[in-house]
Amino acid sequence: MSDLQQIISEALKLNLKVGDVIFTGRFKNKRAVVKEIGIDDLGQPTINGRKALSFRIEKLMPKKAWSQKTLDNLKNKK
């Protein structure tokens, strides 16, 4: 790995793991669950096979912006 790639990979830290909920799509409003985290052939991070920098992470959003499905799951767990 070149020095530039190493610096970039160290600088890009996502608080994301398999099972987290993200919002994808053109308007970042399609709910999706992270199934895999990887790297494409250009060395860019990917989430579920798509480029990683085009989504919103639900757990980092305010609770009022969370999807209804997630809020229902939280109520059922209590």
Give 23-32 pLDDT, tens digit per residue: 888 888 889 9
pTM of the model: 0.58
Q: What is the dihedral angle through the alpha carbons of 9, 47, 34, 23, rounded to the nearest 10 degrees? A: 110
Strands (E), the chain: 21-24, 30-33, 37-39, 45-47, 50-51, 56-57
32 three-class SS: strand
DSSP code for 42? T
* Local confidence pLDDT in tens for the 78 residues of the chain: 566 666 655 666 778 899 999 888 888 888 999 999 888 876 678 889 988 776 678 888 888 888 999 999 988 987
